[in-house]
Structure 1
Amino acid sequence: MAYIDALTEKTDLPFSLKGIEVIKCPKTNMPFCIDILKKLGIPIKIMFDNDSGFETRMKEKQKGDEKKTKELRNQHINNNKKILEKVGIDIDTDTNGFILPGNFGYVFVVSDTLESYFSDNVVGWEKLMQQPDVKKNSRIYQEFINSSQLNAFPKELIDFITNDKFFV
């Protein structure tokens, strides 16, 4: 999650100066983490991907049979819904059942994966990823963000990290 911290450092009031900590929590554990943070009275912002391209990636990699793919697809959809239920948000789904992406105040949902979101929406990311010696990792995200202007990133993402909306 270093990319979130790096991105907030480019704003007028970075998370580090607001006393906000970014924690990484797997989607399957997120409802549990939300319960703990809520019981402790800690305000929460949540960002996750909806994994809507999961089936396409499975087919491209030729992994799993159709039954297994369907089971995993349903797990992704259910994990997404459980997170939103925990924070009392009802977001529409696409025709396949995946929640729609966007900025919902204290919840930000990325379409498919962070990598595809960056490729589709962040100026210069796709060009960087096409270089043969570059491998995706948190260091690459952080270095890219540090060397980019804030306007290279989608307004909806900047609005999410800079708004004062939290789930409590």
Structure 2
Amino acid sequence: MNLIEIDAGLGKEDVFQKVEDFLTVKGFRISKIDQTRPWGGFFVLEENQIREFRAMFFEDVDLSEEQLKLKLSPKFLLVAPGNRLSWQYHFRRAELWKLINGESGIVRSETDELGDLEKMELNKTVSLKQGERHRLVGLDTWGIVAEIWMHVDPENPSNEEDIVRLEDDYSRK
């Protein structure tokens, strides 16, 4: 079941407003909104709400007290229909994704060669290992994916620069 009512054909600004309204009603505090990405954008929640975020979206994932104290960067990725993120991987983090609304696909591989597109299942956690190549793909409707970062080295946590783009539709490096 979709958590947010998003009508087909809504523009980017309206979709972002719907997500912002949903998060506000649920009591989440937003630390960053980025609508500038060519594929869509994202919301980052305040780090101190990781327990509430986990309870609502990742209740099926066991996280230790030590893990919950790390910066897990709770966020939502919004991918527009027909768009896709970079074919990428990370050195310092693994990721947990869960499609909470709409439709999205994922491409993943252990090597630089693209794997097959798999349709994501609503409300099913996807675990991406550190170094695993991956790409989020927008299908026929806006896809909204909850995400948590799992740092490989707590002494050297990941950040937005920890990304190796192997292929990018928008010529980003």
Q: TM-score of the superposition, structure 1-length normalised?
A: 0.32
With a CA cutoff of 8 Å and minimum separation of 6, indicate the structure with the bigger relative contact order. Answer: 1
Q: TM-score of the superposition, structure 2-length normalised?
A: 0.32
Q: Which has the larger radius of gyration?
A: 1
**Whose strand proportion is higher, 1 or 2?**
2
**Whose helix proportion is higher, 1 or 2?**
1
